[in-house]
Amino acid sequence: MKKVLGVALVLTLILALAPASTEAQEKVTLTIESWRNDDLTIWQDILIPAFNAAHPDIEVVFQPTAPTEYNGALRAKLEGGTAGDLITCRPFDESLNLFQSGHLVSLNELAGMENFSDVAKSAWITDDGSDVFCVPMASVIHGFLYNKTIFDELGLTEPTTETEFLALLEAVKADGLYAPLVMGTVDQWEAATMGYQNIGPNYWLGEEGRLGLIAGTHKYNEGGFLGAFEALARWQPYLPDGYQAISYPDAQNLFALGMGAVYPAGSWDISTFNPQIDFEMGAFKPPLPEGSENCYISDHVDIAMGVNANTPHMDEALIFMEWLTTAEFAGLYSNQLPGFFSLANHSIMLEDPVAQQFLDWRNECESTIRSAYQILSRGEPNNEQDLWLYSAEVLNGNLTPQEAADKVQEGLEAWYEPQQ
C-alpha cells in the first residue's frame, strides 16, 4: 500500500513538474558535494541516469571529496560560495551547524518527507524539531564479516556469545596461518566505530544506555559502557601483526586477500568486498555478553542530502530532493550499494544475501545509533573524538579499559551539565 502511494506520489510530482521543466529551455547542472568517493561510479552509471530518465533537463554531477577532507573543504567552499548545489549531510551536529549558519535550507515542505520516520529524521532536525534540513538517505549497521573458506577449513561455526567468539579467535590463532581478527588502529576511528560501537550496544542495552548518557544517568566509566571497553580490550591478542600501523584500507586488503578470518565491519564494507573477494563471505551479529538474552545492534543514521541555500537552481535542486524520497531511489541505492540501507519507509528487497542478513537483524534486535553522535559531541573535548582516541589506546595496550573509560567520562563531565 505504501509502495503504491509512493509511486502515485512520484507520478503526480512528475506530472506536476513536467511543464515547468520543459519551459526551462536551457539545461541546468546540479553539483553534488559528497565524501562518498567510493560511490562515484554508481552515481555516474546508475543513479544519475535513473534520475535523468524522468528529468532529462537537469544535469547532475557527482563531485566527491576524500572523506577526511570533506568537512573542512566543504565548509571553506560554502563560506566562499563555491560549494555545489546539493550537499551530502553528515549526521547530527556537523549538518546542524551548516543549517544554523544558513548554508542549508529547511525541507519541511518538501513533498515526500512523510516517507521517513522520526528516527530516520532524528539526525538532521533542529533540537526543537521545528526544521528538517536533509533528506535521509541511508543507515549503516555494524556486525562481523567472515571468510567462509577459512571457517570451513578450520571447522569453525558462527559464534553467538562473546565466549564462543573469543574461543573461535583463539582457534584461528592456534592454527597460525591466518590473522584471527582483521583490524588496525592507526586510523583510530575503526577502533571506536567497528570496535567499541559495534559490540557496545549489547553491553549498554542500546537506546537505554545511549539516552542514559544524554540524561546523565549512565556513565562511560561504569556498567555497560565500561563493560564494552573491557570486551574491546580482549580483542588485542587476536589482531594482526603490526596492527598499530595497519590502516583501514590495509585491513580491507588483508581480509579481501583471504589472509584473515573475521573482520569487524560496517555494512558499507560489503559493497567494497563484493567485487574483490574470491571466497564466500558470511556475517554474524555482535556476540552477546554472558547471560544476555536480547541483542542490540548499531543501526546508525549515516548519510543524507540537503540543498545549498545559495544555489542558483533552487527549483531543480528541490526536484532532485523529492526524487530522493521515492521508492525508486531507495531501491536503487540500497541495491547498488549493499550495506547502505535506505531510511525510507518503502519496503525494499535486497539482492545481496549478506546485506539482507544485516538488514534482517533490524527485526531480530533492538536498533540504536552510535553513543556519541547526538548532543554529546557538541562540547570540548569532543566525545566522539575521545572515543576514537581512547578505544585505539585500549587496543594498543597503552591504557587499561578502566583508565580509558575514566578519561572519556572525564572529558564529557568537563562540559556536559547533565553528567556533572
Partner 1 sequence: MLRTLWANRSKFPLHIIVFLAPAVIIYSTFMIYPLIDSLRLSLYAPDDNQQEVFVGLDNYQKLTTDDLWQPRLEGAIKNNIKFFAIHMLVQNPIGLLLAALLSSQFIRGRAIYRTVIFTPTVLSVVLIGFIWRMILSPLWGISADVIDFINANIIDNLNTLGFGIDAIENQPWLGLENTALPTLALISVWQWIGIPMMLFLAALISIPDELIEAARVDGATAWGVFWRIKFRLILPTVGIVGVLTFVGNFNAFDLIYTTQRATAGPNYSTDILGTFFYRTFFGIQLTPGNPTMGATIAGVMFLIILAGVLLYMFGWQRRILQVEY
Partner 2 sequence: MTAIRQLRPAQTIQLVIAHLVLLAYTALAMFPIILIVINSVKSKRAIFTTPYAMPNSNTWDPIGYETVWDRASFPSYFQNSIIVTLASLLLIMLAGSMAAWALAEYRFPGNAIMGLYLALGIMIPIRLGTVSILRLVVDLHLVGTLYALILVYTASGLPLAVFILTNFMKQVPRDLKDAARVDGASEYRIYLMILPLVRPALGTVMVFNMIPIWNDLWFPLILAPSEKSKTVTLGAQSFLGQFVNDWNAVLASLSLAMIPMVILYIIFSRQLIRGLTAGAVK
List residues near partner 1 by CB under 8 A. Answer: 68, 71-73, 75-76, 90, 92-94, 97, 100-101, 184-189, 240-247, 250, 253-254, 372-373, 377, 380-385, 388-389, 392-393, 396, 398, 414
Nearest approach, Cβ of residue 259 and partner 2 (Å): 9
- Confirm if 93 and 384 have CB atoms less than 8 A apart: no
> Which listed option, partner 1, partner 2, none, makes contact with residue 268 (CB within 5 to 8 Å by class)?
none
> Which listed option, partner 1, partner 2, none, makes contact with residue 245 (CB within 5 to 8 Å by class)?
partner 1
**Interatomic CA distance for residues 162 and 287, integer angstroms:** 5
Question: Which among 171, 159, 92, 173 is positioned nearest to 127, based on CA atoms?
Answer: 92
> Which listed option, partner 2, partner 1, none, makes contact with residue 380 (CB within 5 to 8 Å by class)?
partner 1
Name beta bridge partners: 104. Answer: 308
Q: Among the residues of 257-338, which ranges form H helices?
A: 269-273, 314-324, 327-336
> Does 67 interact with partner 2 (rule: CB under 8 A)?
yes
> Which listed option, partner 2, partner 1, none, makes contact with residue 364 (CB within 5 to 8 Å by class)?
none
H/E stretch holding 144 reads strand 135-147
**Closer CB to partner 1, 49 or 102, in the complex:** 102
How many Cβ atoms sit within 10 Å of the Cβ of residue 130? 9
Please name the residues in contact with 397: beta carbons below 8 A apart, sequence gap of 6 or more: 236
- Over the window 230 to 269, marking each residue x when it contacts partner 2 by CB under 8 A and - when it does not, the resulting string is -------------------x--xx--xx------------
Of 67-75, 93-101, 219-227, 342-350, the window that binds partner 2 (rule: CB under 8 A) is: 67-75
Nearest approach, Cβ of residue 364 and partner 2 (Å): 30
Sign of torsion, CA 378 384 386 387? positive
And the C-alpha cell for 347?
A: 519496503
Among residues 12, 68, 160, 163, which is the contact residue for partner 2, using CB under 8 A?
68
> Which listed option, partner 2, partner 1, none, makes contact with residue 63 (CB within 5 to 8 Å by class)?
partner 2
Nearest approach, Cβ of residue 36 and partner 2 (Å): 10
> Which listed option, partner 2, partner 1, none, makes contact with residue 246 (CB within 5 to 8 Å by class)?
partner 1
- Confirm if 51 and 323 have CB atoms less than 8 A apart: yes
> Does 337 interact with partner 2 (rule: CB under 8 A)?
no
Residue with cell 584473515: 260
Q: What is the dihedral of CA 328, 334, 340, 345, to 10 degrees?
A: 50
- Confirm if 169 and 285 have CB atoms less than 8 A apart: no
**Closer CB to partner 1, 296 or 373, in the complex:** 373
- Over the window 78 to 97, marking each residue x when it contacts partner 2 by CB under 8 A and - when it does not, the resulting string is -xxxx---------------
Nearest approach, Cβ of residue 234 and partner 2 (Å): 27
Length of the chain: 420
- Over the window 17 to 46, marking each residue x when it contacts partner 2 by CB under 8 A and - when it does not, the resulting string is --------------------xx-xx-----
Among residues 57, 59, 77, 186, which is the contact residue for partner 2, using CB under 8 A?
77
> Which class for 278: exposed (0-12), middle (13-18), buried (19 or more C-beta within 10 A)?
exposed
Question: Which among 356, 314, 298, 325 is positioned nearest to 137, based on CA atoms?
Answer: 325
> Does 211 interact with partner 2 (rule: CB under 8 A)?
no
- Confirm if 392 and 185 have CB atoms less than 8 A apart: yes
Applying CB under 8 A, the residues found at the interface with partner 2 are: 37-38, 40-41, 63-69, 73, 76-77, 79-82, 249, 252-253, 256-257, 272
